[in-house]
């Protein structure tokens, strides 16, 4: 299913279904010009997404050999089908920070480290295997490494007569990069700003302060004049600046909630803290979550606890192989 979003520039979205995923769909954006086309993000490496992408491109009369690809960040629902473009000789633009992290994942250098970290933060070791089945990011990643053309913050890309500017917004991933059209002030907000769900902020190997980076990156977008915002999931957002304030408030409130949980349950592990805060999954308690939801909840809890630790509001100590938290 395709939708025309604008006539000048000629811009469309393709609705890419994400089966059994709470995100529901990916908005793949297609910019058409007389010379070349640009696709932004692809969907997972699974048949349903491939079918939706190829059908959408055919409907729009977009041939892969006249089309380049921009990848906003390393999550598999965004880069899963990049190899389709690589074999057609398209230029694939991506921020090198996210690309290097993706390559490290493919070389097997990341997941073992994250699993050890999560277990040392209290995640039940016997559920590590179980969470793999439901973890679509791990199941539907690209098959291998593909070549990219690196982009950096502030860099301008030209597609036909359209100028796009790269805006790097670390937080949701270490090197997420958005595209901004100074004329007519359109922003592709990827997973940095979503409108009816809250972007997940987690922890990363070798990256400090994801939440602090995310909050900084919100300010960066707040300073940008934007007339229309095209997020990577769900519906187009109407009120960007109000949404930025809501997202900031959400994290302030979440930090406070976690701080109170640590105060009331001193000596808890991060997994213990996650069990004492509210989750939106139909009012379920953490213990009832499927294992891969526990994994995501754990990432979110750690991002907030590490932020509280950096602010000097909680303390983290390792005792007999497990990290435990106290309020200061
Ligand atoms: Zn994402």
Find the mean pLDDT for residues 261-265.
97
Per-residue pLDDT of 118-153, as tens digits, reads 999 999 999 888 877 778 988 999 999 999 999 999
Q: Domain of residue 322: give its range.
A: 248-327
- Chain centroid to Cα 269, Å, comes to 26
Q: Residue 130's pLDDT is what? A: 83
Q: What is the CATH number of the domain that holds 169?
A: 3.60.15.10
Encode pLDDT of 157-195 as tens digits.
999 999 999 999 999 999 999 999 999 999 999 999 999
Measured in angstroms, how far is the CA atom of residue 326 from the centroid of ligand 1? 31
Task: Examine the domain organization and report whether 174 and 314 are in the same domain.
Answer: no
Distance 5 CA to ligand 1 centre (A): 22
Say whether both 184 and 257 belong to one domain.
no
Sign of CA dihedral 75, 81, 84, 85: negative
Predicted confidence band of residue 286 (pLDDT cuts 50, 70, 90)? confident
pLDDT at 238: 87
Per the prediction, the chain carries an average pLDDT of 95
Domain CATH number, residue 258: 1.10.10
The whole-number pLDDT of residue 4 equals 98
Could you tell me the two tokens for 256? 């406070």
Residue 281, pLDDT score: 66
Q: Number of folded domains in the chain?
A: 2
Q: Are residues 201 and 268 in the same domain?
A: no
Residues 224 and 265 placed together within one structural domain of the fold: no
The answer to whether residue 96 is domain-embedded is: yes
Q: Is residue 206 located within the same domain as residue 297?
A: no
DSSP 287: G
**The predicted structure's pLDDT at residue 163:** 98
Q: Does residue 202 lie within any of the structural domains?
A: yes
Distance 19 CA to ligand 1 centre (A): 16
Same structural domain, 265 and 301? yes
Please check whether residue 207 lies inside any domain of the structure: yes
Tell me, yes or no, whether 120 lies in a domain.
no
Residues with a beta carbon under 5 angstroms from ion ligand 1: 75, 191
Residue at 133 is within a domain: no
pLDDT confidence band for 287 (50 / 70 / 90):
confident
Q: Is residue 112 scored above 90 in pLDDT?
A: yes
**DSSP assignment of 80-124:** TTHHHHHTTT--EEE-HHHHHHHHHHHTT-SHHHHHHHHHHTT--
In a domain, 301, yes or no: yes
The Cα 9–Cα 6 span in angstroms is: 6
Ligand 1 centroid from CA 321, angstroms: 31
Does residue 44 form part of some domain? Answer: yes
- Of 245, 280, 303, which residue sits at a domain end? 245
In this structure, the answer to whether residues 174 and 162 fall within a common structural domain is yes
- Rounded to an integer, the average pLDDT of 16-39 is 95
Task: Tell me, yes or no, whether 176 and 56 share the same domain.
Answer: yes
The pLDDT, as a whole number, for residue 285 is: 83
Last residue of a domain, one of 187, 217, 245: 245
Centroid of ligand 1 to alpha carbon of 170 (angstroms)? 12
Say if residue 157 is in the same domain as residue 177: yes
Q: 284 with 232, same domain?
A: no
Confidence of residue 282 (pLDDT cuts 50, 70, 90): low
State residue 178 phi and psi, 5-degree precision: -100, 165
Same structural domain, 103 and 158: yes
9-26 average pLDDT score: 95
Domain boundary among 245, 267, 300: 245
Taking alpha carbons only, the member of 298, 318, 198, 308 closest to residue 260 is 308
User: What's the CA-to-centroid distance between 285 and ligand 1, angstroms?
Assistant: 24
Ligand 1 center from residue 191 Cα (angstroms): 5
Domain membership of residue 121 (yes or no) is: no
Gap from CA of 77 to ligand 1 centroid (Å):
7
185 plus 299 within the same structural domain: no
Give the model confidence (pLDDT) of 68-91 as tens digits.
999 999 999 999 999 999 999 899
The closest alpha carbon to 73, from 208, 205, 2, 167, belongs to 167
* DSSP for residue 26: E
List the beta bridge partners of residue 167: 178
């Amino acid at each position: 299913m395709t939708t025309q979003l604008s006539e000048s520039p000629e811009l469309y979205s393709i609705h890419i279904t994400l089966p059994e995923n709470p995100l529901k769909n990916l908005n793949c954006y297609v910019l058409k010009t007389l010379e070349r086309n640009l696709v932004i993000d692809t969907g997972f490496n699974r048949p349903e997404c491939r079918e939706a992408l190829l059908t959408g491109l055919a409907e729009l009369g977009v041939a892969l050999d006249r089309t380049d690809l921009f990848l906003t960040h390393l999550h598999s629902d965004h880069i899963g089908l990049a190899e389709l473009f690589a074999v057609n000789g398209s230029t694939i633009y991506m921020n090198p920070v996210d690309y290097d992290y993706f390559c490290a994942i493919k070389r097997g250098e990341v997941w073992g480290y994250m699993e050890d970290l999560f277990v040392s933060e209290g995640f039940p070791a016997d559920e590590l295997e179980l969470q793999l089945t439901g973890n679509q990011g791990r199941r539907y990643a690209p098959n291998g490494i593909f070549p990219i053309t690196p982009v950096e913050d502030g860099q301008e890309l030209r597609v036909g007569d359209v100028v796009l500017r790269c805006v790097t917004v670390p937080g949701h991933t270490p090197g997420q990069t958005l595209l901004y059209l100074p004329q007519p002030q359109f922003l592709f907000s990827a997973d940095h700003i979503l409108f009816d769900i809250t972007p997940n902020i987690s922890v990363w190997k070798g990256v400090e302060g994801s939440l602090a980076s995310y909050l900084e990156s919100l300010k960066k977008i707040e300073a940008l004049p934007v007339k229309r915002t095209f997020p990577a999931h769900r519906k187009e957002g109407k009120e960007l600046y109000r949404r930025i304030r809501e997202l900031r408030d959400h994290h302030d409130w979440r930090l406070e909630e976690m701080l109170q949980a640590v105060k009331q349950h001193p000596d808890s592990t991060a997994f213990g803290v996650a069990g004492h805060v509210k989750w939106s999954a139909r009012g379920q308690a953490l213990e009832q979550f499927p294992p891969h939801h526990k994994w995501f909840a754990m990432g979110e809890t750690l991002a907030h606890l590490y932020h509280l630790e950096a602010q000097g509001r909680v303390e983290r100590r390792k005792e007999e192989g497990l990290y435990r938290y106290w309020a200061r």
